[in-house]
Structure 1
């Protein structure tokens, strides 16, 4: 799998050295605020192994993200087919960054690179993104990269227990409707 490089980031295959900072991210309650709890080190390592295997198999998926200048691992971004138990189909874009990387435009920069890959390399007709109704930071990234939301697409995520995290929103962007480049 070739690396995807942006002005400040590298999207790449997972490495053994990513596991410690990945586990720390997933143990951070603020990073996991819009998920059903934090993850153990073992759960984090298992997820990274699944991400690595998907990239090896398909050539794309949830890539590790590092800062080009320093080589620091700061999270993940990428594309993945929508889970079968969702009320819609397609390919989803997503991102999760360490709290120390918030507010620098990294999520937007990485997401724009993911859209370019999805549309130009995979020739996807549409890419979507899903988050909890309360995740306003992630929804702001979705709007910045040119995605739009139709409230008729909102749904209660069947994989999430009853509660405030269950209500989810869907943003979409079609090929040819691209946001301006840059964070």
Structure 2
């Protein structure tokens, strides 16, 4: 079986590899990256997360894929699709998600990868919508959600079950885009 791969103009979304652990640990242990995502992660925690993504890809055919920049083959983050976790507003629904090193911020990479991921979901999954969640104050991710055509649904705001009750990251927002709107937006360029 060949390695999973999606190519965009500047990026490759692909299956995780053992050599991705150290650079991804650099991202997941960066206080700037994790400010709106959660606590800094140890190398062992990142290795377990990468292993979980690898298994998810093998078992389900998708995950939050390794995001590699074509020009220098550098791992700059992750982006892809998973099923929403239990206790969230999108439990069992296809969730688009991303995380990226700050040195690559502001260049449109996440938007490019998110578009490719959502397109993959609509091409390969039967669901009628793709969803995204983030901490209320994660304005960068919310901007990406809006750029790709997702709409905020305040009725679905929730306290994330995996975040401590006293954490400023507890409250989460929910965005979605329906298949019909996605198709119409893509057709209109």
TM-score with structure 1 length normalisation?
0.94
Give the aligned partner of residue 13 of structure 2: 11
User: Which moved further from structure 2: 25-34 or 153-162?
Assistant: 153-162
Q: What's the Cα RMSD here?
A: 1.4
* 2:89/2:157 contact within 8 Å kept: no
The number of equivalent residue pairs is 181
1:21 CA displacement: 0.6
1:1-183 → structure 2 map (5 Å cutoff) = 1-89=3-91, 90-162=93-165, 163-178=167-182, 179-180=185-186
Deviations 1:33-65 (A, max 9, x none): 112310001101110010011101111111000
1-structure distance, mates of 2:150, 2:37: 22
DSSP-derived class of the 2:31 partner: coil
Gap runs ≥5 in structure 1: none
1-structure distance, mates of 2:37, 2:138: 10
DSSP-derived class of the 1:176 partner: helix
1:22 CA displacement: 0.5
Larger helix proportion of the pair: 2
Deviations 1:109-142 (A, max 9, x none): 0000001000012232111000000000000000
User: Which moved further from structure 2: 82-91 or 2-11?
Assistant: 82-91
1-structure distance, mates of 2:89, 2:121: 22
* 1:145/1:180 contact within 8 Å kept: no
User: Which moved further from structure 2: 85-94 or 108-117?
Assistant: 85-94
Q: 1:42 to 1:67 in 2, by over 3 A?
A: same
Gap runs ≥5 in structure 2: none
1:180 CA displacement: 4.9
* 1:11/1:63 contact within 8 Å kept: yes
